[in-house]
Amino acid sequence: MKTEFEMVSRIVFWGDEFHPHNFASVLGLDKRYTKVKEKGEVSKNEGKSQSVIRAKTGRLIYSLDQENIEDRRHPEIQFERLIKVITKLPNDFRNEYHIDDVQVQISLYYKDKINGDVDFIIPNGLTSRLSKHNIEMRFTLLP
């Protein structure tokens, strides 16, 4: 019996002087899976208060699991997309595009966990690419 889980992943870029629209086009990111906010951009909070929020920094979020919802059960496909994005990053992208922070965020949602099962393997070379660009990777495990 195999462990049932879903993986949701994204790569997020932030910067005080960062212009995410320009950077998304440089990387050739699909707009359907990209959320961008320019610094100072106003948006409505969809919570109870319906308050207005002003973005404190420029932000780009690229969802790696949205192209096909079934990919949430196939981490290797999401990792391949992540590697493609990282490979497109210019060597000095942080300075060139005024990016202060980059983070890969991975959330794993478990239905049932069976001891001893290997859920997925991080592809060879992914961590070295992340390290090369000083990109933090954050895992969140949720039952």
Q: What is the pLDDT of residue 74?
A: 85
d(CA 95, CA 25): 17
Q: pLDDT at residue 106 above 80?
A: yes
d(CA 137, CA 125): 14
Nearest CA among 74, 78, 80 for reference residue 5: 74
What pTM was estimated for this model as a whole? 0.85
d(CA 64, CA 11): 8
Q: How confident is the model at residue 1 (pLDDT cuts 50, 70, 90)?
A: very low
Greater model confidence, 34 or 54:
34
Report the relative pairing of strands 58-63 and 4-15 from DSSP bridges: antiparallel
